[in-house]
Structure 1
Amino acid sequence: MKTRKLGTAGPEVSAIGLGCMSMSGAYGPADRRESVATVHAALDAGVTLLDTGDFYGMGHNELLLAEALQGRPRDSYQLSVKFGALRGPDGSMLGFDGRPEAAKTSLAYSLNRLGVDHVDIYRPARLDPDVPIEDTIGAIADMVRAGYVRHIGLSEVGAETLRRASQVHPIADVQLEYSLLSRGIEDKVLPAARELGVAVTAYGVLARGLISGHYDRAKLGQAGDFRGMSPRFQGENLDRNLELVEALRAVADERGASVAQIAIAWALAQGGDIVPVIGARSRDRLAEALGAGDLALSADDLAAIERAVPRGSAAGERYPAQHMAALDSER
């Protein structure tokens, strides 16, 4: 497994990380035993970066990771944890809490659920519009000095917020959705991150399975799968986006690779400061994704990919309008 550094201030991590959200019901029911086996397979393959959030399954994901990590040396993996998203008992999203007290309390609960004495990267899941980012980052910096956190990250913030946060404490990375279908960060946020020496951990590289080459319409709408609310998965938008997938499949076939591998390799090729975080929840999908790490794309390959899926060709936004309006990274 190749490695990449999370910015000038962050740790060395595997070039591809494992995102664990889908193991806790975000895309419908998941098999707990297979999820644990997938984490084990990732670690055995050299994946060190494991991404979770305290609101993934309302604590379920952290407890699952604690189970999967039993017996593994603490220095053999890095835990990236998000906090701040508020959820109701029915799973509904209720907003975000970035208050200093909330940051420290959430960290205490995460440490307990994960069964560790520190997390490697701690980050607010979104910007709380009612709390200055300086206050949130300052609270996490207190936890860095206390030894409970090693590095600070951010998620879905804009360029100005990233600059303000960096003045309080060095930022290792910023999590942003980045894929062939979602390239808006190239305008402002990615240049700002590079200016500040902040890496990008790219999630949604397969557009939540849409450009994985395995998307099954029949599964859309099953209980707990939040993709049903995404405009990209609805009606004519879905038809158009799947046409893009078929165009990408032609490029993949030419290279003797899968659609997913081409999409992940494209993200890797956008810069050594970008670390794709892949949301595999089965060993088969994990093995396929990791194969992208050995796929070197030529200039001709990249040009063919751009022709197949030009920037801006995605039909529909990644979230409904009200959710998009709340994203600092989209302003």
Structure 2
Amino acid sequence: MLRIELKAAQSGQPGHGELTVHGWQEGSDALELTVQRNQDGRYLGESGEWDTSPSWHTLDGLNLVDEKLNGEVGPWLIDPLMLDPQMAYMLQLRNEDGSDKGVLRILGTILSSKAAGNSSHDEKKVERKAEPVIAPVVEPEPVPLPEPEAEPEPVELSLDEPLVAEPIAPPPPATVKNPSKLPLILIILLLVLALAAAAWWFLLRKPATEDTAATSSTTPAAGDAAVCSAQALSEGSEDLAFIQACLKSNPSSEQVLEMIAAAKEAKRCGVVQRLYAHKAQSGDAAVAYAYAREYDPQHHTSGGCIEAADGETAAYWYEIAVNNDPGNQDASQRLEELKK
């Protein structure tokens, strides 16, 4: 079974990713690829749609070094996968020498080509640089200088007439007003009101604050449990909206497995598949172990959301469970047996 990983391209260009296939031994010539999603078993078609029959896509530009294929893939593969990156996908490779398959593991965040704004097939527009426009220099009009004021004519003083100084009137006496007591009264009233308000807040509001804190401490937990419950599942008609709300509440492994059981009873297989895939891919060992048993030929139950047993898919999820919980002896044993 192959170990297949997909991450964002080193160039960072939206719609492009780096595909790495570990364990391929059949050469890099004339490679073809088919993609199947586990929600409904459909295959990626030539135009990016999902069909009931497999379509083989030519895989160019991959280099093989020490049983590891590596190369860049474009929007034909990235865009359909990024519509639902939490879905589990099975990829199968083949050429004239042989074929093999494995479950795709998406690493990190990968952007679709739509994030670039324009398709890579759009015509390139030639931008013409506008020539700088030089504005004419307008010289300011001369401002006429003000005419100098005429100097006052000197006053001729006669030596025969005595100089008499005009008496200067004394300033009027300042009127002393009695200070008003109104501002002082207002300040005293404000201080009394402030002290009364402080006493009311500390003495009367304290019990109510404690009750509010106790109520608020229990409200978020109840709200989180409500969005990820069997009742919320029965009331919600859209799978994706329910899954997003449930996962946003950060449920535990036990809560997720309980919701999966409720979704099975309600025949909501889309919820079952997506909850399994999201939590298992994020490293939840308990959910990955349960998902592996769904595919394990030794534990598979017909008539459920997993239509058929698949030992390779079971081994993939067992491996994630063991990597995150090395103490799971049953997962380790089944993984070894399935790889034989």
- Under TM normalisation by the shorter chain, which class is it? under 0.3
Tell which has more relative contact order, 1 or 2 (C-alpha 8 A, sep 6+). 1
Provide the TM-score with structure 1 as the length reference. Answer: 0.21
Q: Is the radius of gyration larger for structure 1 or structure 2?
A: 2
Higher fraction of helix: 1
